[in-house]
Structure 1
């Protein structure tokens, strides 16, 4: 028999048995989601779902949805068949709704109402049973299609005119595209994306036109997440076209 200094054989066996039990427990279940990314528009609702795999009951488990850390920024916590309201972060009170898909099969969902730009980001769904937990994450991408752009003339000097394109209520930061009457791309002189208190962006882009043959200029605001855009056309008066040619 081999002796281990400081250890008894029963103690080594117990430790080994505990390691096996822990390994078995860690493989007991894992948490999966429907997709790594969910898209939601500003002002609408979003449904966050997760599921135990393999399928099993979660009725005796704690289920927690959170953002940065499981003990802080908690959207919702559910334990022993009831909400744990004292854990919920203030900004989510009244905005999230527990949707019990089928706890007996380990399927849960959380509905977020009135999606805001600040909701954009990563979320975690966590199941806990005793000392063991499993979790999965998903990305909630928030997008807002704002107002159609408006073009106005800021001023004109000999040989050039200055146009400004503005739009409100876009998220995330949109892209601005200028084109002339021939469909050629034009570069902005300057471009500013200013967030309001609600997180939506005010867009302002300035263009200088020097080509006398330019009859119209269009400005398009493009949302990179929705791959949608809104545009408008500005008709340059003949008098200004003539002045550009001088």
Structure 2
């Protein structure tokens, strides 16, 4: 293995595999947070560029699996149901990606992390907030916000999770919806970094290496989520959202 990755020690490689497994497991249980866990964990001992390259292909693969877990027909129904979210999110993601050098990353991370942390903490503390029905206007606004965050930072999970949780989306539907939404974003991220130079001959093998542990982790997490009820699923989702929000704030401050 060291022959394939001469710049990385065997310890670093196995540590990277372990982080990818944990990230996949969490995604298998709650449907999101894989990129956050990968980028947070890998940047402890790898360069930010290699860490970013490492998460791109596993994220693309696991999101495709998540979106297609109940078959292509169910995924297509989800695309139709959330087309407003996807359209507005896709448009703003493309526009916002052109402004990466203008907006401070720290400000952006705080703008995502603080509301996510506050929302999850209030929900876990028993302060309820819910949407009684879906609204095209609300969905357009949330989709646009998620797209802006995704285009500028690559993080579009928290706004999406907050919206789906507020709707009280059943766990199977929520996992599939997240897979479709994040999958569309992962395709855009993959294409963008093929041209940016982050994904290249030296970094693609490392990203491919992390596919298997991420998939195995997601499979293990899927076994867990099949055994828990809707209430436990919601609490697990909010807890991960709480940690994700705290981590975004940490990254902004540090």
Query: Shorter-chain TM-score: which interval?
Result: under 0.3
Higher helix share: 2
Q: Max radius of gyration: which structure? A: 1
Which protein has greater RCO, CA pairs closer than 8 Å, 6+ apart? 2
Higher strand share: 1
TM, length-normalised to structure 1: 0.26
